[in-house]
Structure 1
Amino acid sequence: MIAPGDTLTSHNFGLQIDGVMVEYLQKVDGLSFQQDVIEFQQVSATGQPKTSKMPGVQKAGECTVVRGMTQSSAFTEWIQQSIAGNMAMARKNATILVMDTENNPVKRYNMRNAWCYKIDASSVEAGQASALTETVSITYEELVIE
């Protein structure tokens, strides 16, 4: 557990699909929440102009994850369902799970009705000794932070 006042570190996180941990990730980028802001103007009882702001409709979002090119069948199947256009199977509830230094989950970014819409494989080169990665772009309809 982290001590009061300590912050989380960015090196220990993974991806769950429908509640099952399927992949530890190298990088997550662009995970964000946005909603409309409604501005309402009216005249007060004393005749003074008054402006109020209220939350509006939540926007859908996108993020990008980088993972090592592995044999993770659950992640690969999720990507394949998206590519095939099988949206009944491709739309999943996915969670970016942040863990403390003892691998205890401490923060969750739950992406509702998420699916993969782009994949980029790292370049391969003869004689190069480096890990292969895949960059996967994910779109989602709702983000719930726990």
Structure 2
Amino acid sequence: MADDGAAQSTSVWPLPKFHFQVKWDSEVMSFQEVSGLDIESQPIEYRSGDSPVFSTVKMPGIQKSGNVTMKKGVFKGDNKFWDWYNQIKMNTVKRIPVTISLLDESGAPTMVWTLANAWPTKISATDLKSDGNEVAIETIEIVHEGITIANS
């Protein structure tokens, strides 16, 4: 008899990616898309001069985080991106924690990415087309000093 899924384990299926929440400091903001949640270790190549092997050894080096890009609809009177960006002065900017949570069907966070000391590096306003039939979308690119991941 085929299984109808009513008694299925919650660990069998991967989580869908369309239900998520973003918090800037303590403020919850709605986004259409979040991308760039990545981190990498730069390789260090080394070979000692008296090594009998004629190739290098690769060791993990400095960790590097990519920029995170977030897209959202343009709303009348909503200038949060621009207000934050305008706080940038010579070597000073308001750095905030940004938390991205993947939510389950009840709205509870199941996986949480926290970006440390985030600040905006680029804002892209929407493109404008006289014959377009899409929603106006603005984009912010933020830099940060590392990602921590927590599972609920």
Q: How many residues are treated as equivalent by the alignment?
A: 140
What CA RMSD, in Å, does the superposition of the two structures yield over aligned residues? 3.2
Aligned to 1:82: 85
1:67 is matched by which residue type in structure 2? K
- Structure with the larger helix share: 1
Deviation for aligned residue 1:52: 6.2
Q: Larger Rg: 1 or 2?
A: 2
Aligned to 1:56: 61
1:85 is matched by which residue type in structure 2? I
Mark the runs of 5 or more structure 2 residues left unpaired by the alignment: 1-8
| Conserved? CA contact 2:15–2:104, under 8 Å | yes
Aligned to 1:5: 12
Matched, 1:68 2:73: yes
- Aligned counterpart in structure 2 of residue 34 of structure 1, from 40, 43, 56: 40
- Identity percentage of aligned residues: 26
The ranges of structure 1 where at least 4 consecutive aligned residues each deviate by more than 6 angstroms after the TM superposition are: none
Deviation for aligned residue 1:127: 7.2
2-structure distance, mates of 1:138, 1:114: 6
Deviation for aligned residue 1:39: 4.8
- Structure with the larger strand share: 1
Q: 1:71 to 1:32 in 2, by over 3 A?
A: farther
Please give the residue correspondences for 1:52-131 in structure 2 after superposition, counting only pairs within 5 Å.
54-70=59-75, 76=80, 79-86=82-89, 90-125=94-129, 129-131=133-135
2:40 is matched by which residue type in structure 1? Q
What is the DSSP-based 3-state SS (H/G/I as helix, E as strand, rest coil) of the residue aligned with 1:59? strand
Aligned to 2:145: 141
Q: Deviations over 1:12-31 (max 9, x none)?
A: 1121122x242121111222
TM superposition score normalised by structure 1: 0.74
2-structure distance, mates of 1:111, 1:39: 29
2-structure distance, mates of 1:72, 1:95: 24
Matched, 1:22 2:25: no
2-structure distance, mates of 1:79, 1:14: 21
